């Protein structure tokens, strides 16, 4: 069996357990060991994955939710194993629950993007790209057939799809045609390469002399995306040769942890001043100046904008349906591997 | 991908307090044994059972052994509650292998559940039953799987497919063909889900049975995108292997073009297309051949089996076998095209394993332009899936090694993030240095400069090495790299001036190594660099780095103008600080001095020799024996030079320089090291298929299978199979006959008779078809069982003893109605019986029988005497216990041999004289049966002469050899006579009715069945391929009968042939033989039944009915062994 298959399967198991238990740690697994056993038994058979579709699994083995918990406490009877085979196992769209019924039919499409960037020691933007996902939360009655199209699909460098997406329409005219699973799922992930600028700048300066090193980090908005930039953080690991550090900032808080990780949480960048962090690092005895330099990892979050510029053109139901159907679109960009070298 | 996962987990774990634990099974886990579990298990309430089982599960989870509850738990398998069932199954599967006997108790419940209307119950029952893994129930599981493979529920069919590998794991050979048949059936399933599971079964059960795929290939390709992701991964691999086996490699693929290029590369003519792709590395590697050779090697490794690899690497000539043109097909081949078309959308899959598998197909099969398709998806996987990053990167690396041009434009993707693990960083560095081109190298070097300041010094050292590699690959950049490395060294020296920081040494050493490799490219132009390095000797403290600089100095001592002038000073300095140096530096100093002395002119030699003698003297008293050894060595080599220093005479004469030790020294120290272009990492001598585990661990991991040999699957074989199979598939549609409540055997019989239900009237037509055969071939006598004794064709019964009588219709029917002894056999037997059959007789078969000859004594051991023996079919005249043997004596020597006699080992011990041996009959006369009726003595045997003698032996045992002594010309040779149980019987000519009658008395424990594969007929068939005179069935019958009669002393009773419309399906062919055990005259009956296609290896089931069980079993084993044995011409 290919190693990647094993890795992917383990990831899937982790995802499913995470969905079921609302997290994944030793205590949760102990507390729900029966469900974990049952799930594992269902997910793998003789070393080969059997049922991995979350929709089917949830119908077969009920997740431990509050209602069932209360019920089991009251009645003392808890069977979380379904008595019937989920209908989806027999359908052409095994990822979809067979008979979903909703009073309000709605679909929400989120563009969630991560920006990867590398800024070299000279301050040059070496690499900047967006890794995004189209996350869909659908609650639609029956078996809907949706199409989603983009205004500018040509900017996409590469894509990966959920298995519900049909390949043909995408190949011929870049339209996503799919029967969505029920609930939240990742419809596609995409990548946009070679972006030209970043929304914020981070300028670290380290000057060392006589066994100490002065640090000065400035953060500011470079290209205003039009929306507020939230939860900005700057994080770096002090080089091993640093004995102690004293860092202060004019905005936000600075924390230095025992593993030499420094975190500067700025939050929202204020309009009136440029946040900066200054301080001194005391180097090891005998070391005149710093010869290795930390890399600053930057985090931020911008609601309401997709920095890649990708735009959803429209979302349609293929067949006309008797019920009303709400659509919602959102976008979010956050920092991925956004690194500034000093 | 996003952090919400970790965050929620953390917060929840903190909150995992009482509130959250209400309603969970936490209390069961914490105190599983706070109540008595046993009574709960026996409770009549499902909820209590459930609780007890959960407690047991908790105990298992905590590592306790609760196998002692097994009987009580097994009882609950009958529970109606699905949760109880599920928990019982979990428990059962955990302990079944430990407690097989109790596990068997649950089988009945499983059987019942298999008929449940709820598909979930059926599926779970099947899974649990197959999961028990007991040999005893394997036949039952097989029946269950066969049934479930036609279940209307997709889920059950999927579970059936998953159960097949479990059955296969039990390694029951007799079931192999049945399992493969079910695999074929499931691969043909309508539902993609089932196909995926079936693909996985195929990959484990019969990965090389490409015939099974033949017709399905296109359908499988079409269904591929709909198969679930796990099945896709496996199916892609299977389809790729099939296409390689069927059509070979693709001409347009990079594999082929690179191979070709290598063939032409002697003249450095690269085809126009490739030119632009390869210009880059041609410059980089100096010779264009290197890279294509590497690629060539990679692809050869893909199709190379481990044994071939071993033989290749052990043989001095490490070349690869050339691939023949026939092993290639063009990309316009339909199958290839379809495969590529169907796998290309999978490059967009969300599952990284699918992407990599699809990329592997394109890598091997696609034309050069299309291979580019895989680049972006692979790089995207690299970013988007953290867990699989390392594996993907390893594979990309191999792709890039063979074809750097693919990734040249994407160097940015390999830029290193600080969050990458060290392994990833190292791999990315390798990638960057491998794909650097003249246009991209400035950017890459700039990146590298940033990396060097990384706090991870090991990574920084690797970066320095990578810079060296880049400089070697792109000579234009060498100067820039060098300059830059020198500043780095200077910088390092300043930084770590007072105190060496951990890890800095590595960077410095790596920097000097890189400089060394750059200098090697063109030493004369880097003279100044060497001087610079030598000058920095007093600041560089790292021993390994010092050693390397000193080596460089010695190596390039005669370079340019300045270095020779420097030398004496430097050497003096080195000799001066010799004592304080580290081991490796000391060794290099000695070497360097030696080299310098060899190169320098006459005038300087005096001072140098003083330096040498000084250093040697110091070294001789060193604590380390390596250095002492080296000093002795140098001293010896340069003894002349050292002496000359004392004598100060004309010793420096040229004539003396030419003496032996000088020449030796020249060879050792002076020989310019052959420019071994040391690639930074050794090229692995082996590569494995992309995506495989072996590719990651660099050795053949268990279960690794290389690609099949290109075009190893002959066309005609497949076409033939296609033709034969066409009937099968019309019927095998799972939805056509999937009713689950039909448990009757008729369900299975239709499965067996591919041609539909062939009733008796049907056979009339077929017989007339056979008549033609009869007319052309007098050996065959045909009669129709339906027509019984009427024998309208007017064929008379030749009265040979071998002929069996015809079976009347009634007898046939009574046989059909007989209850089969084994339940597992029942379905198969009845299936066979539903078809009509014709009885034929084969005459003249005895004449074709060749008895087998065994070697008793080979001429090498027997002084030139060769003795062979064969068992003869004659019965002994003295007593039936004796077995007759024919002995053939041949004199292979050049001298004549005399007084040859064979006697019993035991008797010869008492009387050593050869003359008395003929009396062996008397010597053993105290027993009833003589052990050996000796042969007539051969008084003399001339060279080349052959004599035949008959010997009658009594074997005490069926299987153990009999020790005998052979005397020849006064010498004694101990020999061993091996018994052949096939000759412990004598022919028993009986009629078919008698056979039936006797057989019916020997049922049950007197009946043993085994299966094997029979292949002899294939050759026969091929031989007769062009002449249509012979019927396929007849050939098979004959080859089985001949094989049987050649190996066992039995008589042929009857031959039953199936009468079907399908001429290629030999299933139902049945031969009967009878014999009588020599020692006690008990009958021993043998029935051979054939399954399978004429042109394929047949699956034969042999049944022995015999009252003496031990004999019967041994006899059966022997029969199966020789039937399965290939005839010599084939092997």
| Backbone φ/ψ region at B703: left (φ over 0), alpha (ψ -120 to 50), beta | left
B contacts of A70 (beta carbons < 8 Å) = 22-23
Q: Does B390 touch chain A (CB under 8 A)?
A: no
Compare CB distances from A27 to B16, B119, B693 and report the shortest one's residue. Answer: B16
Chain B CA closest to residue A170: B345
| CA–CA dist B953, B932 (Å, integer) | 5
DSSP string, B548-560: HHHHHHHHTTTST
Q: Measured between CA atoms, how close is A324 to chain B, in angstroms?
A: 31
Most confident of A178-187, A222-231, B893-902, B1054-1063: A178-187
- Beta-carbon separation of A83 and B691 below 8 A: no
The Cβ-side half-sphere exposure at B136, using a 13 Å CA radius, reads 11
CB contact under 8 A, B415 and A295: no
Distance from CA of A7 to the nearest CA of B (A): 7
From chain A, pick out residues whose CB is under 8 angstroms from the CB of B348.
159-161, 167, 170
Pairwise CA distance, residues A303 & B1027, whole Å:
82
Q: What is the pLDDT of residue B370?
A: 80
Q: Do A34 and B28 touch (CB under 8 A)?
A: yes
Q: Which residues of A195-227 are buried (b: 16+ CB within 10 A; e: fewer)?
A: beebbbbbbbebebeebbbebebebeeeeebee
Cβ atoms within 10 A of the Cβ of A339, count? 24
Which chain B residues touch A127 with a CB distance below 8 Å?
412, 415
Report the share of chain A in percent with pLDDT over 90.
8
Binary contact (B419, A337; C-beta < 8 A): yes
B131 contacts A46? CB cut-off 8 A: yes
Selecting from B23, B229, B230 the residue whose C-beta is nearest the C-beta of A69 gives B23
Positions in chain B short of pLDDT 50: 1-16, 18, 261-289, 315-320, 498-499, 645-655, 657, 674-683, 718-835, 908-927, 1129-1131
Nearest Cα of chain A lies from the Cα of B89 at a distance, in angstroms, of: 10
CA distance B731 to chain A (A): 22
Q: From the list B380, B453, B693, which residue is nearest A191 (CB)?
A: B380
Q: How far is B200 from chain A (nearest CA, A)?
A: 8
* Of B12, B350, B691, Cβ closest to residue A23: B12
Helix, strand, coil percentages (3-state) for chain A, rounded to 5, are 20, 45, 35
Asked if the Cβ–Cβ distance from B345 to A167 is below 8 Å, we say yes
Cβ-Cβ contacts under 8 Å, A119 against chain B: none
ipTM score assigned to the predicted complex:
0.91
Q: Å from A304 to nearest chain B CA?
A: 17
- Which distant-in-sequence residues (6+ apart) come within 8 Å of B258 by Cβ? B292, B295, B296, B299, B402
Closest approach of B369 to chain A, Cα-based (Å): 18
**Nearest chain A alpha carbon to B14:** A27
For B25, the closest of A34, A94, A289 (CB atoms) is A34
Looking at the DSSP assignment, which residues form a beta bridge with residue B904?
B964
What secondary structure does DSSP assign to A295-334, as a single string? EEEEEEEEET--TT---EEEEEESS--SS-EEEEEEEEEE
Cβ <8 Å between B412 and A127: yes
Is pTM, for the whole model, over 0.80? no
Taking an 8 Å cut-off on Cβ atoms, the answer to whether A83 and B118 are in contact is: yes
Contact B228 A289 (CB under 8 A): no
The residue of B96, B130, B240, B350 whose CB has the most chain A CBs within 10 angstroms, and thus the best one to mutate to test that interface, is B350
Q: How far apart, in whole angstroms, are the C-alpha atoms of residue B700 and residue B688?
A: 8
Q: Does B31 touch chain A (CB under 8 A)?
A: no
How close A4 gets to chain B, by Cα (Å)? 5
Instruction: State residue B1014's pLDDT score.
Output: 81
Q: What is the pLDDT of residues A54-100, one digit of tens each?
A: 888 888 887 776 666 666 656 555 566 777 777 767 777 778 877 77
Closest CB to B118: pick one of A48, A84, A292. Answer: A84
DSSP labels for B910-955? H---GGGGGGHHHHTTTSSS-SEEPPPPEEEE-TT-EEEEEEEE--
The pLDDT score that the predictor gives to residue B792 is 40
Which residue did the predictor score with more confidence, A128 or B495?
A: A128
Chain A residues with CB-CB distance to B8 below 8 A: 22-23
B113 touches chain A (CB under 8 A): no
B17 touches chain A (CB under 8 A): no
The pair of three-digit structure tokens given for residue B568, joined into one six-digit string: 């004496």
Beta carbons of B154 and A89 less than 8 Å apart: yes
- Contact across the interface for B119 and A85, Cβ inside 8 Å: yes
Evaluate whether B357 touches B691 at the Cβ level (below 8 Å).
Answer: yes
CB contact under 8 Å between A4 and B353, yes or no, is: yes
pLDDT of residue A13: 92
Tell me which residue in B120, B154, B348 faces A84 most closely, judged by beta carbons.
B120
- CB-based contact, B678 to chain A, within 8 Å: no
Q: Do A83 and B82 touch (CB under 8 A)?
A: yes
Rounded Cα distance between A9 and A274, Å, is: 47
Cβ within 8 Å, pair B350-A118: no
pLDDT of residue B881: 72
User: How close does chain A come to B499, measured CA to CA in Å?
Assistant: 7
What digits encode the pLDDT tens for the residues B807-821?
A: 334 443 443 344 433
Is there a contact between A2 and B1 if contact means CB atoms under 8 Å apart? no
Contacts of B89 in chain A (CB under 8 A): 41
Whether B383 and A33 lie within 8 Å, measured CB to CB: no
Contact B228 A127 (CB under 8 A): no
B847 touches chain A (CB under 8 A): no
Residue with tokens 């062939």: B758
Q: What is the pLDDT of residue B716?
A: 53
Rg (CA), chain A: 25
Q: Which residues of B touch A27 (CB under 8 A)?
A: 13, 16
Angstroms from B230 CA to nearest CA on chain A: 7
CA distances in angstroms from B807 to B296, B787, B994, B1029, B1073, listed in the order given: 65, 10, 11, 27, 15
- As to burial, measured by CB atoms within 10 angstroms (0-12 exposed, 13-18 middle, 19+ buried), residue B911 is middle
Query: Does B693 contact A3 at a Cβ distance shorter than 8 Å?
Result: yes
Report the pLDDT value the prediction gives residue B843, as an integer from 0 to 100: 58
| CA nearest neighbour of A236 among A297, A280, A317 | A297
For residue B691, list chain A residues with Cβ-Cβ distance below 8 A: 2-4
Inter-chain CB proximity A293 and B453 less than 8 Å: yes
DSSP secondary structure code for residue B818 in this structure:
S
Report d(CA B867, CA B951) in Å as an integer.
13
């Amino acid at each position: 069996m290919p190693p990647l298959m094993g890795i992917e399967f383990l990831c899937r198991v982790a995802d499913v357990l995470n969905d079921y238990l609302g997290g994944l740690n030793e205590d949760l697994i102990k507390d729900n060991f029966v469900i974990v056993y049952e799930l594992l038994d269902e997910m793998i058979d003789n070393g080969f994955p059997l049922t991995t579709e979350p929709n089917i699994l949830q119908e077969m083995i009920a997740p431990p939710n509050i209602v069932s918990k209360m019920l089991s406490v009251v009645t003392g009877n808890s069977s979380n194993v379904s008595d019937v085979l989920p209908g989806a196992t027999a359908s052409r769209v095994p990822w979809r629950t067979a008979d979903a019924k909703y009073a309000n039919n709605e679909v929400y499409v989120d563009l969630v993007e991560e920006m990867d960037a590398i800024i070299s020691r000279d301050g040059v933007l070496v690499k900047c790209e967006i890794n995004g996902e189209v996350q869909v939360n659908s609650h639609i009655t029956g078996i809907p057939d949706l199409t989603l199209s983009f205004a500018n699909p040509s900017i996409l460098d590469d894509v990966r799809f959920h298995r519900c997406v049909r390949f043909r329409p995408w190949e011929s005219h870049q339209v996503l045609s799919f029967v969505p699973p029920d609930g939240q799922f990742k419809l596609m992930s995409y990548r946009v390469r070679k972006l030209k600028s970043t929304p914020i700048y981070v300028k670290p300066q380290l000057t060392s002399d006589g066994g100490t090193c002065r640090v000065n980090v400035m953060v500011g908005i470079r290209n205003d995306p039009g929306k507020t930039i939230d939860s900005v953080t700057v994080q770096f690991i002090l080089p091993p040769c640093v004995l102690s550090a004293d860092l202060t900032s004019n905005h936000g808080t600075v924390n230095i942890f025992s593993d030499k990780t420094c975190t500067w949480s700025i939050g929202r960048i204020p309009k009136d001043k440029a946040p900066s962090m200054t301080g001194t690092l005391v180097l090891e005895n005998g070391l005149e100046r710093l010869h290795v330099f930390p890399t600053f990892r930057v985090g931020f979050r911008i609601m309401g904008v997709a920095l890649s510029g990708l735009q959803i053109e429209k979302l349609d139901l293929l067949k006309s349906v008797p019920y009303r159907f709400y659509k919602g679109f959102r976008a979010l960009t956050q920092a991925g591997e956004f690194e500034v070298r000093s | 991908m996003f952090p919400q996962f970790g965050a929620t987990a953390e917060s929840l774990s903190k909150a995992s307090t009482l509130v959250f634990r209400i309603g969970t099974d936490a209390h069961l886990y914490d105190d599983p044994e706070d109540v008595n579990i046993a009574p709960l298990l026996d409770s009549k309430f499902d909820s209590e059972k459930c609780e007890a089982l959960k407690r047991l599960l908790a105990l298992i989870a905590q590592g306790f052994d609760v196998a002692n509850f097994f009987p009580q738990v097994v009882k609950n398998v009958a529970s109606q509650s699905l949760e109880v069932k599920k928990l019982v199954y979990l428990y059962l599967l955990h302990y079944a292998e430990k407690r097989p006997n109790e596990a068997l108790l649950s089988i009945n419940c499983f059987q019942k559940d298999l008929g449940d209307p709820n598909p979930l119950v059926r599926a779970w029952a099947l899974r649990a039953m197959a999961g028990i893994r007991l040999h005893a129930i394997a036949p039952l599981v097989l029946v269950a799987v066969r049934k479930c493979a036609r279940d209307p529920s997709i889920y059950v069919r999927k579970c059936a497919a998953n159960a097949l590998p479990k059955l296969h794991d039990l390694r029951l050979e007799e079931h192999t063909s049945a399992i493969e048949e079910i695999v074929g059936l499931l691969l043909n399933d309508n539902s993609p889900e089932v196909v995926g599971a079936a693909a996985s079964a195929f990959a484990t059960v019969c990965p090389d049975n490409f015939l099974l795929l033949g017709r399905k290939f296109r359908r499988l390709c079409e269904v591929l995108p709909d198969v679930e992701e796990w099945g896709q991964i496996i199916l892609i691999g299977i389809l790729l292997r099939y296409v390689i086996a069927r059509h070979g490699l693709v001409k347009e693929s990079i594999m082929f073009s690179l191979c070709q290029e290598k063939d032409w590369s002697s003249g450095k003519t690269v085809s126009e297309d490739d030119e632009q792709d390869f210009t880059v590395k041609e410059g980089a590697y100096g010779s264009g051949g290197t890279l294509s050779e590497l690629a060539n090697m990679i692809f050869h490794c893909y199709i190379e089996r481990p044994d071939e690899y071993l033989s290749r690497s052990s043989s001095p000539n490490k070349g690869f076998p050339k691939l023949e043109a026939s092993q290639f097909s063009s990309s316009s081949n339909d199958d290839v095209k379809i495969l590529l078309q169907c796998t290309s959308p999978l490059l967009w899959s969300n599952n990284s394993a699918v992407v990599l598998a699809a990329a592997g197909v394109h890598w091997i099969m696609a034309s050069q332009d299309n291979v580019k398709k895989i680049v972006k998806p692979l790089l995207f996987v690299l970013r988007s899936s953290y867990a699989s990053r390392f594996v993907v990167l390893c594979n990309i690396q191999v792709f890039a090694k063979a074809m750097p041009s693919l990734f040249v434009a994407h160097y940015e993707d390999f830029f290193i993030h600080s969050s990458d693990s060290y392994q990833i960083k190292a791999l990315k560095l390798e990638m960057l240095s491998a794909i650097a081109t003249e246009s991209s190298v400035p950017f890459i070097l700039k990146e590298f400069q940033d990396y060097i300041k990384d706090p991870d010094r090991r990574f920084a050292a690797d970066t320095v090495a990578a810079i060296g590699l880049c400089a070697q690959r792109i000579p234009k950049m060498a100067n820039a790299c060098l300059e830059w490395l020198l500043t780095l060294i200077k910088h390092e020296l300043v930084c770590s001036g007072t105190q060496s920081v951990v890890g800095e040494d590595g960077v410095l050493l790596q920097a000097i190594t890189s400089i060394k490799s750059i200098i090697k490219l063109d030493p004369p132009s880097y003279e100044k660099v060497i001087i610079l390095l030598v000058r920095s000797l007093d600041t560089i403290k790292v021993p390994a780095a010092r050693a390397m600089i000193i080596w460089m100095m010695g190596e390039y001592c005669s370079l340019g103008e300045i270095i020779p002038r420097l030398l004496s000073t430097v050497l003096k300095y080195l000799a001066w600080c010799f004592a304080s140096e580290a081991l490796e530096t000391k060794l290099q100093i000695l070497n360097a001095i030696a080299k310098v002395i060899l190169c320098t002119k006459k005038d300087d030699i005096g001072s140098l020799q003083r330096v040498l003698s000084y250093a040697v003297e110091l070294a001789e008293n060193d604590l380390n024996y390596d250095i002492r050894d080296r000093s002795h060595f140098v001293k010896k080599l340069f003894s002349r030079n050292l002496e000359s220093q004392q004598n100060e005479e004309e010793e420096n004469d040229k004539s003396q320089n030419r003496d032996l030790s000088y020449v030796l020294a020249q060879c050792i120290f002076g020989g310019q090291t052959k420019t071994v272009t040391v690639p930074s990492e050794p090229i692995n001598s082996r590569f494995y298929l992309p995506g495989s585990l072996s590719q990651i661990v660099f050795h053949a991991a268990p279960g690794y299978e290389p690609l099949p040999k290109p075009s190893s699957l002959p066309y005609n074989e497949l076409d033939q199979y296609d033709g034969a199979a066409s009937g099968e598939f019309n019927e095998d549609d799972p939805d056509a006959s999937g009713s689950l409540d039909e448990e009757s055997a008729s369900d299975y019989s239709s499965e067996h008779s591919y041609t539909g239900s062939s009733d008796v009237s049907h056979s009339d037509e077929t017989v007339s078809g056979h008549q033609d055969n009869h007319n052309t071939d007098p050996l065959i006598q045909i009669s129709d069982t339906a027509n019984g004794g009427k024998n309208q064709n007017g064929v008379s019964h030749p009265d040979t003893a071998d002929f069996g009588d015809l079976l009347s219709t009634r007898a046939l029917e009574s046989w059909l109605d007989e209850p089969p002894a084994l339940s597992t056999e029942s379905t198969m037997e009845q299936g066979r019986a539903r078809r009509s059959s014709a009885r034929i007789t084969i005459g003249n078969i005895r004449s074709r029988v060749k008895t087998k000859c065994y070697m008793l004594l080979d001429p090498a051991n027997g002084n030139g005497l060769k003795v062979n023996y064969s068992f003869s079919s004659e019965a002994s005249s003295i007593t039936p216990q004796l077995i007759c043997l024919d002995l053939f004596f041949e004199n292979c020597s050049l001298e004549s041999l005399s007084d040859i006699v064979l006697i019993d080992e035991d008797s010869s011990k008492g009387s050593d004289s050869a003359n008395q041996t003929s009396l062996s009959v008397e010597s053993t006369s105290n027993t009833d049966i003589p052990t050996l009726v000796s042969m007539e003595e051969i008084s003399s045997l001339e060279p080349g002469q052959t004599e035949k003698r008959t010997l009658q032996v009594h074997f005490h045992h069926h299987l153990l050899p009999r020790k005998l002594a052979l005397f020849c010309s006064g010498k004694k040779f101990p020999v061993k006579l091996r018994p052949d149980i096939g000759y412990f019987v004598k022919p028993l000519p009986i009629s078919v009715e008698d056979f039936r009658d006797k057989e019916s008395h020997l049922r049950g424990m007197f009946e043993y069945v085994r299966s094997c594969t029979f292949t002899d007929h294939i050759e026969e068939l091929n031989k007769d391929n062009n002449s249509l005179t012979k019927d396929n069935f007849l050939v098979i019958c004959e080859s089985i009968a001949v094989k049987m009669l050649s190996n066992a002393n039995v008589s042929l009773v009857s031959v039953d042939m199936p009468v079907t419309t399908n001429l290629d399906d030999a299933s139902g062919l049945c031969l009967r033989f009878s014999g009588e055990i020599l020692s006690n005259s008990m009958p021993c009956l043998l029935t051979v039944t054939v399954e399978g296609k004429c042109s394929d290896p047949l699956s034969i089931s042999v049944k022995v009915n015999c009252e003496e069980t031990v004999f019967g079993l041994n006899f059966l084993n022997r029969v199966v062994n020789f039937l399965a044995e290939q005839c010599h011409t084939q092997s």
